[in-house]
Amino acid sequence: MSQPWYKYPRIDDYASNPDPDGPFPKPDSNILVPDGVPITALASGVVSGINAPDGSQPGFGQVVTVKLDTPLNPIADHMAYLHLNQISCSQGQRVTFGTPVGVAGPNPQNAGTGFALYHGDYYGFGSTWAQYVGSPELNPVPFLNSLGDISMQTFGPHSSSFAGWYTVHDQIWQCIETSFIIGHGILAAYQQLSIDGNALPVLGLPTSNEIGWAKNGKTGVVQFFERGCLVYDPAHAEDSQPGFNDVYFGKTDQFLPFKPK
């Protein structure tokens, strides 16, 4: 499987002046995450803001702001995930490390996924923006470097929460809650997506069985989950994703027509 989203190459030019978007110091790091990769929370807290305070999408793309349970310092009491293609959480939702908050992909600025520290409930808005932009306290680089080599772990029958979600039938899992099954290549990919080997994989529970598709004489399957979809496409007839082989994360718009109504 691919590496965690925050381990892709970064553009760490915090406080460079001016920012490409305006005459102020650059406030974030950009992480060159492939399209379709889930963006997950890097610390626990509560989602304090989605996009702008009035609900509109800022010019730099969709953004999620999280008020931290434990501030990094007196100023850095929020984290922001910006330049998102999709939002995967809701305002007021509690998140922990590994909770999906969005999806990487095309955005109005065509920028790499942004990560920033902030002092306010809505990133980029409020009086604290002008007061603290470019300040050392909001430099995200030391925090990103501190994450080290945290990586996804394997989820399976050995996991403490497994019996509450799945039963096993000849190496095929059936979801207790939805009754859908996961097997073969998609199962092999899915079970690698737990943040600690005990938590349910970040895609959540299956919301469909495998659904077949064909293109230019090639065939594959797609399976939908609560927080995205996985595609088995060994010929890469429909798409491909860096770091993945036969199975990859499906782009929502591309595979949405296959989703059961």
Confidence (pLDDT) at 230 = 95
Closest CA to 132 of 24, 18, 12: 24
Q: What is the rounded average pLDDT of the residues 220-224?
A: 95
Confidence (pLDDT) at 151 = 58
Other CB atoms within 10 A of residue 259 CB? 14
Q: Is the pLDDT of residue 253 over 70?
A: yes
- Under 8 Å between Cβ of 222 and 186: no
Confidence (pLDDT) at 67 = 96
Residue type, 59: G
Confidence (pLDDT) at 258 = 79
Q: What is the rounded average pLDDT of the residues 175-198?
A: 91
Closest CA to 83 of 106, 99, 101: 106
Q: Which residue has the tokens 């293109």?
A: 215
214 vs 63, more confident: 63
What would the two tokens of residue 70 be?
């434990």
Confidence (pLDDT) at 149 = 55
48 vs 216, more confident: 48
Residue type, 1: M
pLDDT tens per residue, range 114-146? 999 999 999 999 999 999 999 999 999 999 988
Spatial neighbors of 151 by CB under 8 A, at least 6 apart, are: 3, 4, 7
Q: Is the pLDDT of residue 197 over 90?
A: no
- Angle (CA) 184 187 192, round 5°: 135
Confidence (pLDDT) at 2 = 57
pLDDT tens per residue, range 3-41? 789 988 899 889 987 777 778 899 999 999 999 999 999
Q: What pTM was computed for the model?
A: 0.58
Average of per-residue pLDDT values in the chain: 90
Confidence (pLDDT) at 152 = 64
Is residue 89 classed exposed, middle or buried when 0-12, 13-18 and 19+ CB atoms within 10 A define those classes?
Answer: buried
Confidence (pLDDT) at 1 = 44
In the chain, % of residues over pLDDT 90:
63
Alpha carbon distance 200, 164 (integer Å): 10
